[in-house]
Amino acid sequence: MGFLFKFQKLLDIEKCREEDLIKELKIFERQLHDEKKLLVFLQSVLSLQQSEMEKELCMQAEARVFVLYESYFSKLNRDITVQSSKVKDVSKKADRARETLLTVFTKRKTLEKLRERCEKEYKALILRVENKHFDEIATSRFYYKRKKDDTH
């Protein structure tokens, strides 16, 4: 009979949960990276267009051009605000996934340490049983040898 850890199924479940959470966290981190990249892009477009408008101001362009720029800027500002909230939401999701992963990781590590301790105790017990068995064999041999010597 070999070593059997009574919480092995629980340990296996925690390992699977950890793997799933790692995949989920990678997805959130990739999504967060993409959302941040889009936010930076929108901010750079805004600053670029603002510098274009300043050039137009120097050239004394028509008023309708400035009205178009202003409506475009307000749209870009709304898009930047929406994108910022998306970045915050994805960041919160990633943080929650990290916290959950940490909890599952801690639980798995605890179960693994418990398994190691139980396995160590099992091996010590087996060693004691084997030593006891060998002691009994040695005692028996000694006894029968002594008995044999006494009869002769």
| Chain segment 64-78, per-residue pLDDT in tens | 777 888 898 999 999
Q: Higher model confidence: residue 68 or residue 117?
A: 117
Size of the chain in residues: 152
How does DSSP classify residue 152? -
Q: What is the pLDDT of residue 1?
A: 66
| pLDDT for the residue numbered 93 | 96
Residue 119 CA: distances (Å) to CA of 13, 90, 115, 122, 125: 20, 42, 6, 5, 10
**Quick check: helix, strand or coil at residue 7?**
coil
For the chain, counts of helices (H) and of strands (E): 2, 0
